[in-house]
Amino acid sequence: MEEIKVKYFVDDIDELCYVDGKSDWIDLHAAEEVTLRAGEFRLIPLGVAIALPEGYEAHIVPRSSTFKNYGILQSNSMGVVDCSYCGDNDQWRMPVYATRDVTIEKNARICQFRIMKNQPPLRFTRVEYLDGPDRGGFGSTGK
């Protein structure tokens, strides 16, 4: 099991935990109460700085209930934190846009992350034709 060093910026939020058998995504919490007005942008502090292992990155996305409960959208769709963002003051934050007036309580679970191995080096080769089946060019529906 990998050991990950975590610095907490506040004492009264739930600590990170991996729930074996449930999901390999780990919840992140608002580190302070945040009140937003509809149309407002804010970086919500998540109360942690994490030293990721070399060659890994974290992917941060909203929880499935975040929009329903709070009416906020993660403004960059998905956040990526690389392993160089590992300093003592590199607190993770969630950039959000509010679609309605809302107060997010301190310690509310608003997003989640997982740690992923960096993509290996790739070489792209230009070809005239691809050998796979033609599915219509748009997702699984084809149209």
| Interior/surface letters 41-51, b for 16+ CB within 10 angstroms, e for the rest | ebebbbbbbbb
CA 80, CA 65: separation in Å to the nearest integer? 21
Domain layout of the chain by residue ranges: 5-117
* CA distance linking residue 63 with residue 72, whole number of Å: 11
- For the entire predicted model, the pTM comes to 0.86
Alpha carbons 3 and 116: distance in angstroms, whole number: 14
Six token digits for residue 105 = 């309580």
Confidence band, pLDDT 50/70/90 cuts, at residue 142: low
Closest CA to 107 of 38, 6, 10, 24: 10
Q: Note the pLDDT of residue 57.
A: 97
For residue range 56-65, list pLDDT tens digits in order. 999 999 999 9
Q: What percent of the chain has pLDDT over 90?
A: 83
pLDDT reading at 27 higher than 60 = yes
Confidence of residue 73 (pLDDT cuts 50, 70, 90): very high
Tell me the CATH architecture of domain 5-117. Answer: Distorted Sandwich (2.70)
**Catalytic residue IDs:** 82
